[in-house]
């Protein structure tokens, strides 16, 4: 486990950041009053999400690889973080949906139906805890892999004296 201490630490930081982001969205009214703006502003979570990956890979490079890290080492570090975040995503979604913003699904359903975007039946199927858990289990690895691939490019640092 100590071999993956950095990855576990940053995966937990990522989960905490995600929960804080959901709290911020709720406080900002994006889950109620300004729900029409939610589909746009929720995407800004990418900024702190990428920052967490950058900080994680930089820490891994410094602590585990003596300041040098090749692309593969960075990418694998990101994949491990992604795996942990994915495993925790159902719990994260339950905490979000039950504790942080218990009325989000009702509000989203009402908005989607009142604007004619979805029928009542389709809105209830889409805006449900089970569907959001499934979306998280698919979305977390997809976005995590993409983020890991890109961040590893920018955080790798070759030791000029070795064949890394």
Q: Helix count (H) and strand count (E) of the chain?
A: 7, 0
Dihedral of CA 8/138/33/49: which sign? positive
Neighbouring-strand partners of residue 157: 69
The whole-angstrom separation of Cα 11 and Cα 79 is 10
Neighbouring C-beta atoms of residue 2, cutoff 10 Å? 6
Q: What is the DSSP string of 107-138?
A: HHHHHHHHTTSS-HHHHHHHSSHHHHHHHHHH
Task: Output the pLDDT for position 158.
Answer: 84
Q: Are 148 and 52 in contact (CB under 8 A)?
A: no
- The pLDDT confidence band at residue 2, using thresholds 50, 70 and 90, is confident
Nearest alpha-carbon partner for 21 in 87, 73, 95? 95
The whole-angstrom separation of Cα 30 and Cα 61 is 37
In this prediction the pTM is: 0.93
Mean pLDDT of all residues in 35-60: 97
The whole-angstrom separation of Cα 73 and Cα 116 is 48
Per-residue pLDDT tens for 65-99? 999 999 999 999 999 999 999 999 999 999 999 99
The whole-angstrom separation of Cα 5 and Cα 41 is 32
Dihedral of CA 51/152/89/111: which sign? positive
Q: Are 48 and 21 in contact (CB under 8 A)?
A: yes
- The pLDDT confidence band at residue 126, using thresholds 50, 70 and 90, is very high
């Amino acid at each position: 486990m100590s071999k993956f201490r950095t990855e576990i630490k940053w995966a937990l930081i990522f989960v905490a950041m995600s929960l804080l982001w959901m709290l911020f969205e709720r406080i900002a009214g994006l889950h109620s009053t300004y729900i029409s703006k939610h589909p746009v502003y929720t995407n800004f979570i990418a900024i702190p999400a990428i920052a967490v990956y950058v900080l994680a890979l930089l820490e891994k490079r410094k602590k585990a690889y003596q300041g040098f890290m090749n692309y593969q080492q960075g990418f694998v570090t990101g994949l491990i973080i992604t795996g942990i975040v994915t495993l925790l995503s159902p719990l994260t979604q339950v905490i979000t949906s039950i504790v942080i913003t218990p009325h989000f699904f009702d509000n989203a359903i009402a908005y989607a139906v009142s604007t004619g975007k979805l029928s009542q039946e389709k809105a209830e199927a889409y805006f449900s805890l089970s569907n959001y858990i499934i979306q998280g289990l698919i979305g977390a690895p997809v976005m995590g892999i993409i983020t890991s691939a890109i961040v590893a490019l920018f955080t790798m640092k070759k030791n000029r004296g070795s064949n890394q």
